A = this chain, B = another copy of it.
Amino acid sequence: MPEAQSPTRKRIVDAATRLFYAEGIGRVSVDAVAEEAGLTKRTLYYHFKSKDDLIAAYLDGRDQPNLKRMAGWFDAAEGGADRKVEAIFTNLARAAHHPKWKGCGFLRTAAELASMPGHPAIKVGSRHKSNFETWLAGELSARNIEEPQALAREIVLLIDGSFSIMLIHRNPDYIEAAGRAAATLVRARISSNQV
């Protein structure tokens, strides 16, 4: 039985992360992951019972870093909740200029696995997106924004819409437009007794 936190396992997940994000889970073979990790396929299958498991582990490893990055942008931004929300989009648009940017790994994986709704990787993605939505609703609630849950959900829709459309048009203007729409929706819910 492999150890849950073995360094070899981490090497495999790191290699899978690089390849899966760059090429998509369907276009990357297990052989390629093993080679990228610098070991043989048999060793990979000692640590993971299937490719599907490895895909889920890849997404699981992206959960916390992704959340922290978003929260970092939110926290660092000056101004009220509207400006902080818009900062997420502004930073996203900047990140999208990077040549290695390929959208949201969670959404792309869900799209590739659309015919397998119960796939373990999709459950991981669902949990991640819920985590983000819950975190955002908490931040909005702490700032006395009205209907924080509903608003958080609308912002999530605009963020994921940006991710998707970017893969079609490759035009970051869409992300900026989504940011302005999100800021508008936030301002519409700033309550009267607000800091």
In the complex with contacts A110-B167, A126-B168, A115-B157 CB distance below 8 A: no
Contact indicator B158/A115 (Cβ below 8 Å): no
Contact indicator A103/B112 (Cβ below 8 Å): no
Q: For the complex, give the distance between the alpha carbons of A155 and B129 in Å.
A: 21
Chain B residues within 8 Å of A158, by CB:
154, 157-158, 161
- A109, chain B: closest CB distance, angstroms: 9
In this assembly, does A174 line the interface, its C-beta being within 8 Å of a C-beta of chain B? yes
Q: Which residue of B lies closest to A154 (CB)?
A: B181
Chain A 89-127 interface residues, beta-carbon cutoff 8 Å to B:
102-103, 106-108, 110-112, 114-115, 117, 122, 125-126
Number of interface residues, chain A, beta carbon within 8 A: 46
- A134, chain B: closest CB distance, angstroms: 13
A-B residue pairs in contact (CB < 8 Å), sample of 26 = A24-B112, A24-B114, A26-B27, A26-B112, A107-B111, A107-B164, A107-B167, A107-B168, A108-B111, A108-B112, A108-B114, A111-B164, A112-B112, A150-B177, A153-B174, A154-B177, A154-B181, A156-B161, A156-B165, A157-B157, A157-B161, A157-B178, A159-B161, A160-B161, A160-B165, A164-B164
Known: A110-B168, A163-B164. 19 other contacts (CB 8 A): A24-B26, A26-B27, A102-B114, A107-B111, A107-B164, A108-B111, A114-B167, A117-B170, A122-B167, A125-B168, A153-B174, A157-B174, A157-B177, A158-B158, A159-B161, A160-B160, A160-B164, A184-B188, A185-B185
